[in-house]
Amino acid sequence: MFHVFGAITHFERRRIIERIRDGIVAACARGKVPGRPTLDADKLASALKLVAHGIRPAQVAKQLGLGRSTLYRELTLIRHGSPSTPLSGGAA
């Protein structure tokens, strides 16, 4: 009995994966780009200027519509001189 349930579950999981892949392909065909949107260079530059003038990063993020953790991550990358550019999105 457990083998039958396991086989059905495995089959259904494979169907789910196929539907997800088909959905991604269809979205790409409509011109959508999968994944998170890229960080706007102008917003990041504005945020860095505001932080440099002494405004708290949390307030800057809220004012510019950025995620607080995104801004803190970019500030950390810049301060520690990470080899990746600040606009790389952190994905390597």
CATH for the 37-92 domain, from 1.10.1740, 1.10.10, 2.30.30, 1.10.490: 1.10.10
Tell me which residue of 13, 74, 72, 69 sits closest to 41, measured CA to CA: 74
- Give the separation between CA 45 and CA 19, rounded to whole angstroms: 40
pLDDT tens for 48-71 read 999 999 999 999 999 999 999 999
Write the CA distances from 52 to 13, 34, 66, 75, 92, integer angstroms: 50, 33, 17, 11, 28
pLDDT at 9: 96
Q: Of the given ranges (35-44, 47-56, 64-73, 78-87), which has the lowest mean pLDDT?
A: 78-87
- Give the separation between CA 4 and CA 2, rounded to whole angstroms: 5
Average predicted confidence (pLDDT) for the chain = 87
pTM summary value: 0.53
**Domains of the chain: which residue ranges?**
1-35, 37-92
- Give the separation between CA 16 and CA 35, rounded to whole angstroms: 19
Place of tokens 């789910």: 16
